[in-house]
Each structure stands twice: as C-alpha cells, then as structure tokens.
Amino acid sequence: MNAEIIINKALDNALRKLYGAVPVQQPLQVQATRKEFEGDYTVVVFPLLPISKKSPKQTATELGQAILETVPEIESFQVIKGFLNLKMSPFYWMSRLQDIAETPRYGSKPSSGKTVMVEFSSPNTNKPLHLGHIRNNLLGWSVSRILETYGHKVIKVNLVNDRGIHICKSMLAWQKSGLNATPESTGKKGDHLVGDFYVLFEKKYKEQVKELVSRGMDQEQALKEAPLIGEAQSMLVKWEQGDKEVIDLWKKMNGWVYEGFEQTYKRMGISFDKIYYESDTYLLGRELVIKGLEDGVFYRNQDGSVWCDLTPEGLDHKLLLRADGTSVYMTQDLGTAVSRYKEFGFDSHVYVVGNEQNYHFQVLKVLLKKLGFSWADDIMHLSYGMVELPEGKMKSREGTVVDADDLMDDMVETARETSLESGKLEDMTPQGQERLFSILGMGALKYFILKVDPRKTMLFDPGESIDFNGNTGPFIQYTFARIRSILRKALERNYQARLHNQPMLEKELRLVKLMTTYPQVVEDSAVSCSPAMVANFSFDLAREFNQYYHEVSVLHEQDDQLRAQRLLLLEQVARLLESSMELLGITLPERM
C-alpha cells in the first residue's frame, strides 16, 4: 500500500480519536517532504484547525503522536509550523521494494477506456526531415508511449503536407533544371533530391526579385511579380484542376520523398497507425468552408476569397479560401480534424506542432466550434519550442538546415569514436560493435532532445549529448550495462536475488524511495505531455545507483542474505531504467 493511502487512513483515525470529527474534503493533502527537512511525506494541517480548534503546531504535534502510536509503517515525525513531516520506517520501504518486484508492469495504469489521437511529424514533401522534425518526431512518439502506459488507447497519426505552393516550387525547379534526375540516377535519397530543387527554386527566385528591385520596383511588389512565383502559383491552380501532366509529376516526386521519409522514420524507431495526406483532406475542408459560407458562419470578400470574422473572440479575420479558390492550411486542417473524429471518435486529440503555430490552433478550435463541433474543446496543441544550434536558427529555404539523416550519421560516428577510445570492445564482433554504436548515438540524440521540457526552446549540442559522465543518454545506458554485467556474474556464481528483510542502508532506502515515485512520474508526464519528467527520473535513478555502487559491495558481500537482497535491488533499478527509457524510445545495451 502506498504511503499516501496509509497516511490518510491514519489521519482519519487520529482525527476521530482526538477531535471526534474528520474534514469534509477527503483525502487530505499529502506531499513529498522538501529536501531541506527531515521526513518523507508532509501533511498540511491548516485545513484541520477548524476541527482541532488549536494552533497549527499543537494540532500537528497531537496528530503526529497519535499516528506514531498506531501506525508501524511510520517511524517518526517532525513539526515545522503548520506542517507535519512523517518519516516512513525501513519496514515500509522494504515492503515497497517487494511491491515493485512483484508488479509485472510497474508504473502502468489499467485501461482508461479513452482514445487519444496524437498527430506528429507532419512533414512537407518538398524537403527532407531536419533537426526540428527530429524534436517533433521524438516528442510525438514518446508522448504516445507515455499515454499508452497511462492506460489510454493511442492512435499515432501523421499528416503529410503533400500539396501547396511549396510543393510546386520543387516541381517547377525540377521541370526547368532537373534534366530528368531521379534518386537512382543521382544516388541520392528521394527527399534529399527534391529538397535540392526547393533550394534551387528559392535561389533563382531571389535572383529575379533582386533584378526587379534593381530596375526600380519595390521589394514587396517584386516578391509578388517575379516570374517564377507566378509560374508556381499557376502550377498550383493546374494541380487543383486535375491537370494530368502536373498530377503525374507530383505523384512521381512525392513518391521519391515518401521512400526517403520511410528510411528516416525507421532509423528513428518511429511508426504511425495511420497516415493522412493533405491532398485528400483539403477537399473535405473546402466542403466545410462552403457550408459555413451558406450558413452565414463565414463571408465572401469582394475578390471572391472566403473569410471568417473572429474579432468577437479576440482574434482577427481568417482567410479560408483564396480568391482563385485554392485552399490554405486551415482549410485542410478543418477537413482532417472532422474526418478523424468521424473515423475514430477520439476523446482527445494532441497536435505536436511547434510554438510558431500557436495562433493557428487557437483559430482551428474556434472555427470548429463555430461549425458546430463540440469536440473542438478536446483538441490540445502540444506547443514545443524550436531547436537552435550554436550557429543560430535553421533556414530550410537557404539549404542551411541540419539534415536529420546527416545528424544521425554524425551521432553514430561520434559514438563509434568515443567507444573505441575506451578500449573495452575488443571481444565484441564487428556487427555487435556497429549495433552498439547505433544504440549509443541514437540514445544520445533522443535523450538530449527529450530531457528538455517540450515548451522550452532548446540549444542542441551534439558533443555534450554524448558525454558519458553528464546528464546524457549514454550515461544512463552505461549504468544499465554495468548493472546487467553484475547480474550476469551473479548468475554465473549461482547467487540468488531475493528479499530477506535485512537492514537497508540509507543509500538503498534512497533508491527504493526514488523508484516508488515512478508511477507518479508517468502520470504527471501523461497529464502534461512532457517526456522530460521521465528523462529526469531516469537520470536521477542512474546517478543515485552509481553513488550507491561506488560505496557498497554487492558481489563481494559475504552475507548470503544481504547479497541476495542487494541483487534484488539492482534488478529493480535496471528494470525501471529500461522501462523509463523505453518510454523515450531509447534502447539500453546489455554491455558496452
């Protein structure tokens, strides 16, 4: 039984015995004791003063004495003003270690009966995935795993932005300069090849704008009247009209990109339950907009474009269809949301999208509610901060982004160099070494990204991320491998791992106390959609274990029962490291 339940039951009995009454609000507030004070759990006694009719200090003291006399799981108490600090007994922590060992999926919740849809990735088919996409994908995958562990049914979806002016830019550049280049003829991944043409378009476009400005045209007008942008806009209109030549080129180039994306997703360990395509969903969005126009929810401007007046909601006027009838992002997002709800009837929908789209999702919810969809309130935007580098922000139009594939290659190479320097892999096969380098490199990347609260902008430092001695994935991976090595040696010597109710050292108690917080960590992470909480738990547990192992003998302990108990403790530490890191999508190696 966890401490909160024991303490609330003890308080209930003590209040009845001492004052003949219990508070109306149950259970009472029980929280972890702050580190600067002695104790494990703290009860705030101020809400109890109307019952005791005594001072906070006297009330806390009387309650502490009554509880101490009747509850063996509580060893001592301390009163600090209006706070009652309770220290649990070693007997209690021993029982919690047994609970952890005997609970098959410790930290997991039973089914909630709720369905949560999580959308993440959402790439454009005009360029490869980059560092920003890595944070998006890792967040989406980890949040999905955490929500599943919390008991929800999770549907992982991806919306591929496969149409629009940006797609036409790559297509037009390939038409003009591609010389029939293909992934096969160039030896490039398809997404990289198409991305090169997107960069080429922007380069030529800028040259045209510069030329127009040099002739006396102002910058804003030049951006609109440069011949290339006009051709791209004409291509988009042809696409929406179903022009065969444009559609065939679109299918071919998108096909190249999809193959490239799939390779990158596989390497990241990412997959989806369903992939949606904007080219399918924008049509439903158009139907919703037209119906909203007929119902008076939206209005048509003089140029023929369709808008919604959101000023009553403190927003502005939002464009939904351009004057030429083409759709905008909001159009397809309306259609996608409605089709998903019809198909899955989700209880909530989490959109993992960068914070530059905060306004977009405010508007999406308002528009859906105006169209009569009450479930709009169940939409949540997991707004994450951008990833920055020491050199500055990434710019995909200029081709200066950190490519996801290149970054993963660099991380694995760094892991290779660092591991070979240690000189501990001589007896490992070349294949085993390569697998280890991949596990370490990807673990470093994933952990460094996920240990930061999603809502914060972060600075990614590849070198720092793979430090074996810091708050990093490799540090936790090394700790796990060390424990597994100890347990293998114990098995070879026929040592048993079993609880024997032997006295536990303070460092062992700290490990058990930390492990008992894991279910709450999972819950808090699920509620806030923050994998950083799980990452921090993993690091704290690994750090606490290393401090313990540095000072305490396990395999060389002569007392059989004490050694068996310590081996059980190590088994559970390794188990929770593996469980928590799995929620981050990180593999832990058996040796390194």
> What is the per-residue pLDDT across 315-362, written as a single tens digit (0 to 9) for each?
999 999 989 887 888 998 999 999 999 999 999 999 999 999 999 999
Percent of all residues in the chain with a pLDDT value above 90, rounded to a whole number: 84
pLDDT one-digit tens code per residue, 481-502? 999 999 999 999 999 999 998 9
Please determine whether the domains at 3-88 and 120-398 fall in the same fold group of CATH: no
Confidence of residue 402 (pLDDT cuts 50, 70, 90): confident
Q: Please name the CATH architecture into which domain 120-398 falls.
A: 3-Layer(aba) Sandwich (3.40)
pLDDT range class, residue 393, cuts 50, 70, 90: very low
Residue that is written with structure tokens 């969005």 in the block: 285
Distance CA 469, CA 38 (A): 30
Smallest Cα–Cα separation from 473: which of 443, 516, 508? 443
Q: Rounded distance, CA 444 to CA 472, Å?
A: 6
Do 106 and 112 form a contact (C-beta atoms < 8 A)? no
Amino acid letter for position 11: L
How big is the chain by its Cα radius of gyration, in Å? 30
Which phi and psi (to 5°) does residue 72 adopt? Answer: -65, -25
For residue range 27-53, list pLDDT tens digits in order: 778 899 998 899 999 999 999 999 999
Q: Is the pLDDT of residue 424 over 80?
A: no
Distance, first Cα to last Cα, the chain: 38
For the chain, give the mean pLDDT: 93
Q: How far is CA 574 from CA 4, 93, 517, 569, 585, in A?
A: 26, 18, 15, 9, 16
Nearest to 282 by CA among 322, 334, 243: 334
Question: Which residues lie closer than 8 Å to 4 by C-beta, 6 or more apart?
Answer: 27, 30, 41
326/317 Cα distance (integer angstroms): 18
| Nearest C-alpha neighbor of 366 from the set 344, 339, 333, 341 | 333
What is the C-alpha to C-alpha distance for residues 453 and 382, in angstroms, rounded to an integer?
11
How many Å apart are CA 201 and CA 171, to the nearest integer?
Answer: 9
Q: Enumerate residues 6+ apart whose C-beta is below 8 A from 562.
A: 500, 502
Tokens of 220: 């804003």
Task: Quote the tokens at residue 29.
Answer: 């507030």
pLDDT at position 24: 67
Q: Could you read off the pLDDT of 248-267 as tens digits, one per residue?
A: 999 999 999 999 999 999 99
Task: Please report, for the chain, the start and end positions of each structural domain, with discontinuous segments joined by +.
Answer: 3-88, 120-398, 404-582
State mean pLDDT over 2-16: 91
DSSP class per residue in 375-403: GGGGEEEEEEPPEEBTTB---GGGT-S-B
**Per-residue pLDDT band at 396 (split at 50, 70, 90):** very low
- 217 φ, ψ (degrees, to nearest 5): -80, 140
Residue 427 is encoded by which pair of tokens? 């007896």
What's the rounded mean pLDDT across residues 213-237?
95
Q: What is the pLDDT of residues 115-154, one digit of tens each?
A: 999 999 999 999 999 988 999 999 999 999 999 999 999 9
CA distance 512 to 535: 18
Residue 503 pLDDT class (50, 70, 90 cuts): very high
| Alpha carbon distance 529, 514 (integer Å) | 21
Q: What superfamily in CATH does domain 404-582 come from?
A: Isoleucyl-tRNA Synthetase; Domain 1 (1.10.730.10)
In this structure, how many other beta carbons lie within 10 angstroms of the beta carbon of residue 429? 9
Q: What local confidence, expressed as pLDDT, does residue 391 receive?
A: 64
Strands (E), 396-435: none
Q: Rounded to whole angstroms, how far apart are CA atoms 484 and 498?
A: 17
Identify the bridge partners of residue 124 per DSSP, sorted by sequence position. Answer: 161
pLDDT band of residue 409 (cuts 50, 70, 90) is very high
Q: Tell me: the pLDDT tens digits for 268-299?
A: 999 999 999 988 888 889 999 999 999 999 99
8 Å CB contact between 288 and 338: yes
Tell me which residue has tokens 């709009």: 376
pLDDT at 397: 45
pLDDT of residue 395: 46
Domain 3-88 has CATH 3.40.50.300: no
| DSSP H or E run through 379 | strand 379-384
Residue 176 scores a pLDDT above 80: yes
The DSSP secondary-structure symbol of 454 reads T
Please tell me the predicted confidence (pLDDT) of residue 324.
81
Rounded Cα distance, 415 and 411, in Å: 6
Portion of the chain with pLDDT greater than 70, in percent: 98
Question: Does the pLDDT of residue 425 top 90, yes or no?
Answer: no
CA distance 160 to 258: 9
Q: How far is CA 93 from CA 1, 506, 515, in A?
A: 11, 11, 10
Indicate if the pLDDT at residue 465 is higher than 70. Answer: yes
And the tokens for 71?
Answer: 């509850």
